[in-house]
Amino acid sequence: MKVTGAEALMKTLVDLGIDTIFGYPGGAIMPVYDALYGYTDKIRHILVRHEQGAAHAAEGYARITGKPGVCMATSGPGATNLVTGIADAMMDSVPLLAITGQVHQALIGTDAFQETDIIGITTPITKWNFQVTSASELAEAVVKGYRIAMEGRPGPVLIDITKNAQFEETEYHFPTDVRIEGFQPVTTPNPRQIQIAAELINKAERPFLVFGHGVLIARATQELIAFAEKSGIPVANTLHGLSGFPSAHPLYMGWVGMHGNYATNVLTNQADVLIGIGMRFDDRVTGRLDKYAKQAKVIHIDIDPAELNKNVHAEVPIVADAKNALIALTKAIKKREHSAWIARFAELRQQEVEQIIKPNTEPKDDKVRMAEVIHRLSQKTKGEAVIVPDVGQHQMIAARYYQFTRPDSFISSGGAGTMGFGLPAAMGAKVAAPEREVICIAGDGGFQMTSHEMMTISAENIPVKVLVLNNNFLGMVRQWQQLFFERRYSFVDIKNPDFVKMAESYFVPAEKVTDRAGIDAALDRMLAAKGPYFVEVVCEKEENVFPMIPSGAAIDEIRLS
């Protein structure tokens, strides 16, 4: 069957099971959009208001489904507007298939209208990218890109298609035998390494397990629980591991990192065996590396061999898929309890409860705190909603005070820390999981970076709930300026628009809460709404997020105030 390259692309996407594209048309991708016109019964296209929104929405979609989210843009500025989302996906191991149009092959290198070297730009921030210059290459390139995005450690792939390749005709058949030279991810753990790890675990007196996003990617949450219950080991997670372990489970100790829990950070530096699963030992988790867990023998499990021994030396490095490794490790270990060790976590946890958690969730003054808003939201949703924060203080507050009960319930920008991520990512998550409550929690600063996507959720009737915690500051930067720059508040006091009028101009019902008495009713109305809904809560201007590990400090130097 002879078809144009543009139609071959559509056929390939359908054959791969792609049902949603987030995109924005333009000249160099117009033949593809013309072909898409005939496939709207098979593929839903969501017209975003900015290409960055397309990339973040595709990330949100991928984080829920586990399969590549697809975003599409034209050449030049359309393609470069995808770059932030692509870089974000690379940092956070999110499978993404970015498709861009390109000028005619004959014009490449001539500085043609809207010509940009998107292959050169995205080489450092993609697992793989490829420029299609002939229609005959297209189907195989897309299938190859899809597989690379998915297999091993997930990540973004970009396919750039010249305009002539979109117009040319080719014989279409779905490629079923695509070879990817040099790409053979190891998913099964080495049995000898598993045995060595099991021996360390069986002898440990103060073992501690920290897991990350890799456990959620591997769909290994049940295997993690089974391992923890047999081993009796206390469990914590990284920011991206949130929702991977039930917050009410007796072995769950909280999360680690710069704004994580007090006990988990302090006792990392007292563990004799530290098990890291599907996490990178990045700087936000380790603090000062030369003082990180030097007393512990480290077992590190990750599907990406490049992460092993990169930051923290591993006594037992294991390259494997988290699910396979946990199954093997659970079989190899003995059943144990560590009640005295766990009691130490409880003791330090109580200090945090008394000094930080209670005062912020049950404040005695009349100042509304972000923490109490999230605490009430968690109670009202029973910890079952998908929480999609933007980046900043509210992100850390959401991570700290929302009590997650279901996996894949926390979708956030971690490695890149991209302000503006929240709203479009929530949109993508809701499209992927229409049956789940999806709530974007944003600060007044980050919300304005992609607030135009309110029009997208309105036009497409995507019932995302948006909760803006407004302290009229760029709060995280202000906190650092307060603590470490002698309150020199340099360009963080932000003048905001009327958010309610803004939301209503996008045809989204909206309301503003200015005191504690109005919080419950506003949240109830938001959660009861059948379509999108917007709530702004005006919060204490100088609320800080504690605990906190100061930059350059060791993790056990974490501050409670």
Residue 185 and residue 514: Cα distance in Å, rounded?
53
Mean pLDDT within 211-222: 98
Q: pLDDT band at 165, cuts 50/70/90? A: very high
Predicted pLDDT at 511: 98
Sheet arrangement for strand 438-443 = 386-389, 438-443, 465-470, 533-538, 510-513
User: Domains of the chain: which residue ranges?
Assistant: 2-171, 191-345, 368-538
| Catalytic positions, written as ranges | 51, 113-114, 163, 476
Six token digits for residue 340: 């005295």
Give 97-152 pLDDT, tens digit per residue: 999 999 999 999 999 999 999 999 999 999 999 999 999 999 999 999 999 999 99
Q: pLDDT band at 162, cuts 50/70/90? A: very high
| pLDDT tops 90 at residue 177 | no
Residue 335 is given by DSSP the state P
Mean pLDDT within 295-309: 97
DSSP element (H, E) containing 316:
strand 316-319
Average pLDDT, the chain: 97
20: helix, strand or coil: strand
Six token digits for residue 252: 């769950």
Residue 16 and residue 458: Cα distance in Å, rounded?
29
Predicted pLDDT at 475: 92
Alpha helix stretches (DSSP H) within 353-392: 358-361, 370-381
Give 374-427 pLDDT, tens digit per residue: 999 999 999 999 999 999 999 999 999 999 999 999 999 999 999 999 999 999
First-to-final CA distance of the chain:
69
- Are the folds of 191-345 and 368-538 the same? yes
Residue 447 and residue 468: Cα distance in Å, rounded?
8
Residues 6+ away with beta carbon under 8 Å from 440: 388, 389, 390, 422, 423, 425, 426, 464, 465, 466, 467
Class of 368-538 in CATH: alpha beta
- Contact assessment for residue 52 and residue 450, using Cβ atoms and an 8 Å cutoff: yes
191-345 belongs to CATH 3.40.50.1220: yes
Predicted pLDDT at 183: 87
Predicted pLDDT at 369: 96
User: Which CATH number is 2-171's, of 3.30.70.260, 3.30.930.10, 3.40.50.970, 3.30.460.10?
Assistant: 3.40.50.970
